[in-house]
Amino acid sequence: MKPSPILLPGRTLGILGGGQLGRMTAREAKRAGYRVAVYTNEPHGSPAGQIADLEVNAAYFDDEARELFLREVDVITMEFENLPGDLLASFETTKPVRPGRVALETCQNREKEKLFLRKSGVPHADFRVVKNAEELAAAIAELGTPCVLKTADFGYDGKGQQKLTGGEDPVVVWKKLAAPRGVLEQWVTFEKEISIVAARALDGSFAAFPACENEHFRHILDLTISPARIAPGITAEATAIAGKIASALDYTGTLAVEFFLTNEGTLTVNEIAPRPHNSGHHTLDSCCSNQFEQQLRAVSGLPLADPRQHSPAVMVNLLGDLWPAPDQAPDWTPVLRHPRARLHLYGKRRAIPGRKMGHFTVLGDTIAQALADARQLQAALRAVPVD
Ligand code: AMP
User: pLDDT tens across 274-296, in order?
Assistant: 999 999 999 999 999 999 999 99
Q: What is the mean pLDDT of residues 171-186?
A: 94
Distance CA 38, CA 70 (A): 11
Selected residue with higher pLDDT from 372 and 386:
372
Is the CATH number of domain 190-382 3.40.50.300?
A: no
Q: What is the band of 218 on the pLDDT scale with cuts at 50, 70, 90?
A: confident
42 CB within 6 A, ligand 1: no
Cα of 256 to ligand 1 centre, how many Å?
15
Distance CA 85, CA 39 (A): 16
270 CB within 6 A, ligand 1: yes
pLDDT of residue 155: 59
Distance CA 163, CA 146 (A): 7
Q: What is the mean pLDDT of residues 57-83?
A: 96
User: Which run of H or of E encompasses 183?
Assistant: strand 182-186
**Domain spans of the chain?**
12-97, 126-186, 190-382
Q: What is the CATH number of domain 126-186?
A: 3.30.1490.20
Distance CA 91, CA 101 (A): 10
pLDDT of residue 2: 52
Other C-beta atoms closer than 10 Å to the C-beta of 78 total 26
Q: What is the mean pLDDT of residues 83-90?
A: 91
Mutate to test the pocket of ligand 1, among 261, 270, 271, 272 (most ligand atoms within 8 A of CB): 270
Task: Assign a CATH topology to domain 12-97.
Answer: Rossmann fold (3.40.50)
Atom of ligand 1 nearest to the CA of 125: 19
Same fold, 12-97 and 126-186: no
Q: What is the band of 153 on the pLDDT scale with cuts at 50, 70, 90?
A: confident
Give the residue from 163, 153, 159 showing the smallest Cα distance to 185.
Answer: 163
Distance CA 386, CA 329 (A): 8
Q: What is the band of 160 on the pLDDT scale with cuts at 50, 70, 90?
A: confident
User: pLDDT tens across 233-271, in order?
Assistant: 999 999 999 999 999 999 999 999 999 999 999 999 999
Nearest-CA residue for atom 21 of ligand 1: 188
Write down the mean pLDDT value for the chain: 95
Distance CA 295, CA 25 (A): 7
pLDDT for residue 1 is more than 50:
no
Q: What is the mean pLDDT of residues 165-193?
A: 95
pLDDT of residue 213: 98
Distance CA 262, CA 117 (A): 18
Angle made by CA atoms 264, 269, 275, in degrees to the nearest 5: 145
pLDDT for residue 161 is more than 90:
no
pLDDT of residue 154: 72
pLDDT for residue 384 is more than 70:
no
- List of long-range contacts for 2-5, beta carbons under 8 Å, 24+ apart: 4/96, 4/202, 4/301, 5/301
Torsion 352-356-357-359 (CA) sign: positive
Distance CA 257, CA 252 (A): 15
Nearest-CA residue for atom 10 of ligand 1: 219
Give the residue from 80, 60, 79 showing the smallest Cα distance to 70.
Answer: 60
Which three-class secondary structure state does DSSP give residue 162? Answer: strand
pLDDT of residue 219: 87
pLDDT of residue 383: 79
User: pLDDT tens across 330-374, in order?
Assistant: 999 999 999 999 999 999 999 999 999 999 999 999 999 999 999
